């Protein structure tokens, strides 16, 4: 494997080198924050806009694109799920976590450009279920996708 890595570093395309750099970013983020590798590949680093609104701004990379050169629908879904999940998991009481039980998306336009903004808004926070919505747009403000999700709240083990 090390010879393959060296070959890509020395002779690979810029896209292949970008994928390796993203893999290193994912490993670093996993070690530093114990986040999912996918979060590292997507470059997720979020912030609260206010108490009930959480946002990610992510660069569009080769990893995210499909054969048509637009952001893959599964990546868009993962971004919506991650944004809503981050919002809800940061709002549950200490000792609890939340997992997706339902996710619905409407794709409105192809994901293009240099950056996507994903913004989740909490709609309901109960003792066992939480509901939120999410909008994903490009850097020009074009709405790419709207989503809604329900998360089950559970005690961590």
C-alpha 6/C-alpha 79 separation (Å) is 31
Count the domains in the chain.
Answer: 2
Q: Is 52 exposed, middle or buried (0-12, 13-18, 19+ CB in 10 A)?
A: middle
Mean pLDDT, range 3-30, rounded to an integer: 86
109 and 135 in a single domain? The answer is yes
- Which residue is it, tokens 């089950």? 152
Residue-range definition of the domain harbouring residue 77? 44-155
Residue 1, pLDDT > 80, answer: no
3-class DSSP state for residue 1?
coil
**pLDDT tens-digit profile of 57-81?**
999 998 899 999 999 999 999 999 9
Please check whether residues 71 and 123 belong to one and the same domain.
yes
């Amino acid at each position: 494997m090390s010879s393959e890595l060296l070959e890509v570093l020395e002779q690979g395309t810029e896209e292949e080198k970008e994928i390796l750099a993203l893999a290193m970013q994912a490993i670093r983020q996993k070690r530093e924050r114990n986040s999912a590798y996918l979060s590292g590949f997507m470059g997720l680093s979020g912030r609260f806009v206010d108490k009930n609104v959480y946002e990610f701004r992510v660069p569009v990379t080769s990893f995210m694109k499909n054969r048509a050169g637009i952001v893959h629908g599964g990546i868009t879904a993962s971004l919506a799920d991650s944004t809503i999940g981050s919002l809800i998991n940061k709002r549950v009481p200490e000792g609890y976590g939340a997992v997706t039980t339902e996710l619905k998306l409407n794709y409105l336009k192809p994901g293009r450009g240099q950056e996507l903004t994903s913004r989740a808004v909490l709609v309901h926070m109960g003792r066992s279920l939480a509901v939120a919505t999410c909008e994903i747009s490009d850097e020009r403000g074009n709405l790419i996708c709207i989503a809604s999700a329900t998360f089950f709240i559970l005690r961590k083990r």
